[in-house]
Amino acid sequence: MKLSGVMPALVTPFDANNRVDFKAFEKHLTNLRAAGVTGWVPLGSTGEYFSMSNDEREDVLKFVKDFAKEGEALIAGTNAPATREVIENTLRAKEIGYDTVLLATPFYTRPTQDELLAHYRAVLDAADVNLVMYNYPPKDGIEIGFDLMDALADDPRVIGIKESSGVLQRAVDIHARYNGRIDLISGSDDIALDFMFWGADCWICGPANCMAEACVDLDRTFRSGDLAKAREKMTVLYRAMNILESGKFVQKIKYGCELQGTPVGTCRAPLGELTESEKVDFRAAIAPILN
């Protein structure tokens, strides 16, 4: 399985009563499809899966699966703090129709590398799915190390790693060590162009929720071979991406959706709302992109 193009790490819209807003969700997905995204990644960290019940998570997976058209890739976030829960979530996603899952390291527990390897193998043993690993040490507290990746590199179901460390050297190393075995997938949005240069054919992108057209345009421009133009487009994107990485990522993404005309509500606690100053800064950064 080969992933390519821009795949939004989807927000989960909530209504005024703090319930999943499927009407807003449909409008949002329709807007993203028109922008040219290549598939869907529900229930990642941008989707606030950590604040949702199992029933809500299942409903979201079913909704996105039903919305998807043939040819659009589907990757389900099935993360949880315990291996047993991840297996349950993954089996449920498989039943709904997802053949690929995105798995960060289990949060809070901070397993050792040997424990993490056993965790991934347990999921793969229990469920017939493809795996995209998700390396995000600033959020999860541990890194998916190269010894662990070495141990999984020849498993054909381990198809990629979403690299969100923000460390470009990691991208270079992954390309050098695993090219043709584990695909590098861009997850460090403010250096996405650098990742493309080092072999990332797919960008699982939270900011695509509110700037999909610009992200898709960057990806297509790079694929066309016009590197100078791609650099110009990344320069326009960079300030907004950098502000997103500075904190309150999901809140800013949702505010960006509001600014582009597809409001998706606010975040669930403990994530709080943006201050007026934060709104002003992000609105200024995203304005050139939305225009």
Place of tokens 């309150």: 248
- Determine the average pLDDT of the residues in 103-122: 95
- Determine the average pLDDT of the residues in 204-223: 98
Residue 6 has pLDDT above 80, yes or no: yes
Task: Say if residues 89 and 128 touch (Cβ distance below 8 Å).
Answer: no
Which residues are known binding-site members? 46, 204
Which domain, by its residues, includes 11? 5-290
Spatial distance between the Cα atoms of 213 and 200, rounded to a whole number of angstroms: 19
Instruction: List Cα–Cα distances, 287 to 96, 183, 256, 291, in angstroms.
Output: 38, 33, 10, 6
Beta strands in 182-250 (DSSP E): 183-186, 202-205
Q: Which of 120, 134, 178, 255 is catalytic?
A: 134
- Determine the average pLDDT of the residues in 102-126: 96
Residue 115 has pLDDT above 90, yes or no: yes
Indicate the DSSP class of residue 14. Answer: B
| CATH code of the domain covering residue 198 | 3.20.20.70
Q: Which helix (H) or strand (E) holds 77?
A: strand 76-77
Residue 80 has pLDDT above 80, yes or no: yes
Count how many domains the chain has.
Answer: 1
Neighbours of 19 (CB within 10 A): 11
- Determine the average pLDDT of the residues in 91-102: 98
Give DSSP secondary structure letters for 101-136: EEEEPPTTT---HHHHHHHHHHHHHHS--EEEEEE-
Average pLDDT taken over every residue of the chain: 97
Any catalytic annotation for residue 162? Answer: yes
pLDDT of the residue at 107: 87
Which residues are known binding-site members for pyruvate? 46, 204
**Reported confidence tier of residue 1, pLDDT bands at 50, 70, 90:** confident
pTM given for the model: 0.96
**Reported confidence tier of residue 139, pLDDT bands at 50, 70, 90:** confident
Tens digits of residue pLDDT in 215-271: 999 999 999 999 999 999 999 999 999 999 889 999 999 999 999 999 999 999 999
pLDDT of the residue at 163: 97
pLDDT of the residue at 138: 87
Q: Which of 49, 98, 120, 162 is catalytic?
A: 162
Any catalytic annotation for residue 134? Answer: yes
For residues 82 and 108, the model is more confident at: 82
Residue 57 has pLDDT above 80, yes or no: yes
